[in-house]
Amino acid sequence: MPHLQKKFIYLFLFFSLASARSDSLFQTKYSFSNLSINYLSWTQATQERSFQKSFAYLEFEGGVGFEWGNVYMFTDIENPTHTENETPMNDRRYVFKPVLDVQIAKSNWYLYAQDYNLYSQSYYVSNFIAGISYKIQTDALLFQPFLAPHYQQSTYYSGMNGYMAGWLLNYKFKKNSENMSVSQWHEMEFARVKEHYLASDGSPVGDGKSYGIQGALSVWWHPSEDFTSGIQYRYALYKLGYNGYQDGFIYTLKYNF
């Protein structure tokens, strides 16, 4: 397994020290954490036309808010009952993704960074972005679009790989006195380097295009402070190493602590 990258830690330390007073650096506004059991069921059409296979995964998720910004991270173990030495897509895989927001001059603008990492016995990828975002937030709504250059390290390609834009969305509401929410994360990559998606003879490889999208649209039920359940529609186009469209559903049960 490749060594874990340190660039996010460097960004966190630099932005934190540059943007917050020493007496308030670690004073928290909120925090949350949860452990979840998930099952990603790719549609039959996706499994027939691509290499994708449905799988279960365990996820730990947490976040902390400060006066100067927010820190968020999740880490997954995919196929937790399998071994690392099984065939690709049947093997155990490890994922982690830290996200950092640093507020700019008490405005709605933020310095924004995220670093998605996936490691398996046969493949690894790190998709790192550092750019800018704008946050709209009320008691019920969070909407945060972002834009950043994209740096990639992976088994097959490493270097600058265009740009990424997208958004984070969460909206809380009540339905028949039940606490509900809808959320979405959406990412669009564009202006990718040709080496990443075209072979020397011009035929498509990997994602197969100079652009791609992926994300998930989710509905959540919050029956108590301790538990959350939900269903997510997962989608990707010219992404995840496949030249085409992929979709499926994720079924999730979370324990909040």
DSSP 178-241: EEEEEEEEEEEEES--HHHHB-TTS-B-TT-SS-EEEEEEEEEEESSSSEEEEEEEEEEEEETT
Percent of the chain scoring above 90 in pLDDT? 84
Q: Residue 132 has what pLDDT?
A: 98
Q: Which domain holds residue 118?
A: 11-18+29-256
Q: Residue 9 has what pLDDT?
A: 52
Q: Identify the CA nearest to 236 among candidates 216, 219, 209.
A: 216
Whether the pLDDT of residue 249 is over 80: the answer is yes
Question: For the chain, how many structural domains are there in total?
Answer: 1
23, part of any domain: no
2, part of any domain: no
Instruction: Give the confidence band of 17 by pLDDT, cuts at 50, 70, 90.
Output: very low
Joined tokens for residue 55: 């799988």
86, part of any domain: yes
183, part of any domain: yes
Whether the pLDDT of residue 22 is over 50: the answer is no
206, part of any domain: yes
Joined tokens for residue 215: 């994300």
1, part of any domain: no
24, part of any domain: no
**CATH number of the CATH domain containing 86:** 2.40.230.20
- Residue 242 · residue 235 · CB < 8 Å: no
Q: Residue 24 has what pLDDT?
A: 59
Q: Identify the CA nearest to 53 among candidates 126, 120, 127, 125.
A: 120
202, part of any domain: yes
Per residue in 94-121, pLDDT tens? Answer: 999 999 999 999 999 999 999 999 999 9
